[in-house]
Amino acid sequence: MKELSSLQIERLKYQPKLPSSLAGGINSLKLTEGNKTECVKDAEQIKKLFENTYGKPVVTFETSNTTESAPERNIGVILSGGQAPGGHNVIAGLYDALKQSNPNNKLFGFLGGPSGVIDGKYIEFSDELINAYRNTGGFDIIGSGRTKLETEEQFEKALDNCKKLNISGIVIIGGDDSNTNAAMLAEWFVKNNANIQVIGCPKTIDGDLKNDQIEISFGFDTATKTYAELIGNILRDANSAKKYWHFIKLMGRSATHVGLEVALQTQPNITLISEEVEAKNMSLKQIVDYMTDIIVKRANEGKNFGVALIPEGLIEFIPEMKTMIANLNDVMSTLEQDASYNKLTVPADRFNFIESRMEKENAEVFESLPVLIKAQLLMDRDPHGNVQVSKIETEKLLIEMIKVRLEEIKAQGEFMGKFSDQCHFFGYEGRCAFPSNFDADYCYSLGYNAFALMKFGLTGYLSSVKNLSAPAQEWIAGGVPLTMMMNMEKRHGQFKPVIKKALVDLNGPAFKILEENRQKWAMEDKYIFPGSIQYFGPSNVCDITTETLRLENAAKRTIAAV
């Protein structure tokens, strides 16, 4: 018997809230179709690759006055990619909807991510198993993985294993790459008359899987609240000890949604936004000068302390670094089978060899970097063949450059303070936290809604629940075609269809709040200490969602009212 904490015992009892359109029951739904859709970019190429699933309409659900009986079905579910709080509740919502539709329905969980459906590794869910994981964090109920679904052989194996279990639908719970898998699999199944539907669910704590139909990816709310608690604690410590500058790198490889949201919740002295750095064409030197200026001004007021938030993917958004890394990725993709490179064992020799293959300006940028950063840039690539940005200690690079700049300013007699640094990286701390009430409700609704999409015969869709800053009963349930979010991007040196990442909107209301308050927060220590996630108590404490979502939906309502 698994040991349970007192909190987990109470969380297992929590009954997630559903939108009113779904709360009437899975067999009492009416579907409404909108207009046909187009992808965000590269329409001709995407349409050609997804001939059978392209251009479908957005759909929404309403409660029907009639109740229909449902045939017996078997469904499979996959957890894919990195963990995010609430994944277990997506499965619980899917399971409850499936059993409500027909008690004889079965739900199979493929083990270890997408590889489970290829290798035929699975479990059948039972009431006992599902009930032991309701409202809990993590993906440990069936595990996850990052296997790409893209080859004919993989698709054929997936089909064979689904046939053995009489599975007529698969739900893939994941982020942009995982739901690209879902789109590819859905297209292949339709093309080959497999009669197996594929529905995705939007997961990623990075927050970069969003659009007008997907207001927020699940896990983002819980993760940012978890990070905000930790950073709030550090802010209070900094303000108490008054002797350290804390440089905090935050998870979020391609977008700074996490950093922006946490900044709104805590109001640190410095918040770097990758998208702003790129838009302003800022060099590494300009970033260092900006940060150093704040450190000097605070020191001259007797404040030799502060907190700076640094996005995990910052280095790729600095134009000179982005260009260099893109060139480096291309070079490294050709060196995997290069015997003359692979026999080199001395790091300096490897650096020189790579520089000789790079374009001149990019080679100069690479050559100028500290040895530590060079080595981190050459670590094993990610599944897409790119630099593993999370392993680059950008915060240490900035600290070392700031120290050099401070010495220069000190020599000019313009800096009389002290600079002592502390480094942190918050990433894994937020991925498997107990889901907030919002994520518990949202994830349960996404899973329940995924089965609703299957009931109406849809495939190649992403489960969508909108109007999320309102009470759960007012949420709008439906689905958005996966192809609607796709474009072509370069992966391993080749252009492939992928779901387009949503970056921070520099004209959006969330960033504008940061921009308006940046100078005040830099100097006046307007710190906020949000504390831990609350699960029990008044709704205005326990059921609140992110500042970003609140601001964005308020802006939408204002525009709609004009």
What are the catalytic residues?
206
Question: CA separation (Å) from 355 to 328, 337, 359, 363?
Answer: 9, 18, 8, 5
Which alpha helices (H) appear in 69-214, and where do they start and end?
A: 87-101, 115-119, 127-131, 152-164, 176-191
In 3-state terms, what secondary structure has residue 220? Answer: helix
Q: Name the β-bridge partners of 462.
A: 200, 480
Q: Name the β-bridge partners of 535.
A: none
Q: b/e for 259-283, b at 16 or more Cβ within 10 A?
A: bbbbbbbbbbbbbbbbbbbbeeebe
In 3-state terms, what secondary structure has residue 57? Answer: strand
* Closest to 141 measured CA to CA, from 113, 167, 168: 113
Give the number of other Cβ atoms within 10 Å of residue 151's Cβ.
11
- The per-residue DSSP string of 329-386 comes to HHHHHHHTT-HHHHT--SHHHHHHHHHHHS-HHHHHHHHHS-HHHHHHHTSPP-TTS-
Tally: H helices and E strands in the chain: 24, 15
Token reading at 39: 């992808």
Q: Cα–Cα distance between 223 and 424 in angstroms, integer?
A: 16
Inter-residue contact 244 to 236 (CB < 8 Å): no
- The per-residue DSSP string of 58-71 comes to EEEEEE-SS-----
In 3-state terms, what secondary structure has residue 426? Answer: strand
Token reading at 450: 């995924």
H or E element, residue 246: strand 245-250
Residues 6+ apart with CB under 8 A from 156: none
Token reading at 207: 């927050």
Determine the residue type at 488: M
